[in-house]
Homo-oligomer: A and B are copies of this chain.
Amino acid sequence: MPTPLTTVRRRAPRGRYDRAVVDAILDEGTVCHVALTSEGGPVVLPTGYVRIGDELVVHGAVANALMRQAADGRPLCIAVTLLDGLVLARSTFKHSMNYRSVVVFGRARVVEGDEKAAALARFVDHIAPGRSGEARAANDSELRATLVLAVRMDEVSAKVRTGPPLDDEDDLPLPVWAGVVPLGTVVGRPQPDPALSRDVRVPPSVERLVSRSGPAAPGGR
């Protein structure tokens, strides 16, 4: 029963991946999982991120102990996973998933100054393109309360599974349905903040998010 865990190749040497594939996955994802080793062992936590050039950028409160640990130069591992479908085979063993995933190994540098403010703007633009031009920018005290970390993608690998199940030839005559059930993300109707004044219209950033949405295409994503 092959799964991502069994097949992701660890620490592919630089260049042993298609950077366009890596970037497309990172630019489509919304949440990453950041792992580090703390006193008691490994810790993995979900958080937002944005890719800026060759770096994956995450952020959190300065007050957060794990963020401070992540900032101290220790090794980090970050995964972004997009689930595209369930792969139903004739045998239990050959069930799988279609997915696209990226795993990055690296250490963080702390982002400061103008680059820090720019990174926070990129951060909101990653979840809603154009949003940084609509919202109030972070002020100095907000910037001071935030730790922005950039991890260079020196070691990165992408893994992609697509296509139908791969049953054993002996199983093909079984009268068992086999195929792929595609999965996708759908965007619901925007819910205005109850405190929002009625004369504030839905902005272009939100309109774009909604129009981008749709059910998984019959041919997959």
Do most interface residues of chain A lie in helix, strand or loop, or is the interface mixed?
A: mixed
With an 8 Å Cβ cutoff, the count of chain A residues facing the other chain is 118
Given the known A-B contacts A42-B76, A46-B99, are A177 and B206 also in contact in the complex, defined by CB atoms under 8 Å?
Answer: yes
Contact bitstring A3-34, B, C-beta under 8 A = 1, else 0: 11110101100000000000000000011011
**A75: chain B residues within 8 A (beta carbon):** 40-42
Selected from B77, B93, B95, B177, the residue in CB contact (under 8 A) with A200 is: B177
Is A165 a contact partner of B179 (Cβ separation < 8 A)?
no
The reply to whether the CB of A110 lies closer than 8 angstroms to some CB of chain B is no
A45 in contact with B5 (CB, 8 Å): yes
Interface membership of chain A positions 161-200, coded 1 if the CB is closer than 8 angstroms to chain B and 0 otherwise: 0001101000111111111111111111111111111011
A187 contacts B176, C-beta separation under 8 Å: no
A203 at the interface (CB under 8 A from B): yes
